[in-house]
Amino acid sequence: MDTKILIVDDEPLLVKGLKHSLEQEGYSVVYAYDGKQAVERIKEGDLDLIILDVMLPEMDGLSVCKEVRRESNIPIIMLTAKGEDIDKIIGLELGADDYLAKPFNTRELKARIKALLRRSKEPYEKPMKKKNSNQLIIDTAGRRVFKNNREIELTAKEFELLLLLYNNPDKVYSRDSLLQLVWGYDFTGDERTVDVHIRRLREKIEDDPGNPRWIMTKWGAGYYFRRMI
């Protein structure tokens, strides 16, 4: 089955160029030129990844991202104008998995697409393996997380980040190390990407995000998952 990517951007030449380039890689590509059109296409399903511009007519990309996250954890790469840091951070907080500032290198975009798709579809050797930390259960096969028997919806990047920390309890990872290990390529953005994802994880799995019991901060060093006895 073809991997289908949705490009959402109001620049026809950019869409045309990206479509051609991605199709050369073997992807099936569909597109939308505004936010409302994109939401309608997303609701049809069968998509594997979305490339989403922030600045869109009818409905902006941040609103589209928020709408998607209500129903799906499909990987999202947001495109932002160069220097628009606030849009990058807001996009990540709304559930985007990655961002790329315009103008960007198409080879770098392809690398990020491959990394996200690989992690969202990667099989596990032990298909029924579950990990338990008191009331927190991680189903590595189904890529699902449960807290007190209630499923917690995580994006692909949130799951990968949590699993890495969980698998290495009490090991402190710097922001730079987490970017390299979780994002899977030579990341060119800033380290606030990690902080945003850590904050989102805490809001989802911690009883009190301001006083976490699992995902801890080692001031001046990084983050770690506290081993439970």
Long-range contact set of residues 189-196: C-beta below 8 Å, sequence gap at least 24: 189/88, 189/99, 189/101, 190/85, 192/89, 193/92, 193/99, 194/161, 194/223, 196/89, 196/92, 196/93
Q: How many CA atoms lie within 13 A of 5 on its CB side?
A: 26
Residue carrying the six token digits 């996009």: 91
List domains and CATH numbers for the chain: 4-121 (3.40.50.2300), 130-225 (1.10.10.10)
Other CB atoms within a 10 A radius of the CB of residue 183 amount to 22
One pLDDT digit (tens) per residue for the chain, 229 residues? 589 999 999 999 999 999 999 999 999 999 999 999 999 999 888 899 999 999 999 999 999 998 998 888 889 999 987 666 667 777 778 888 888 888 889 999 999 898 888 876 654 333 335 556 667 888 877 788 998 888 898 888 899 899 999 989 999 999 888 988 887 655 555 678 889 999 999 999 999 999 999 999 999 899 999 976 5
Contacts of 155 (CB under 8 A, 6+ apart): 69, 73, 75, 76, 95, 97
The pTM (predicted TM-score) of the whole model is 0.68
Tens of pLDDT along 115-142?
888 876 654 333 335 556 667 888 877 7
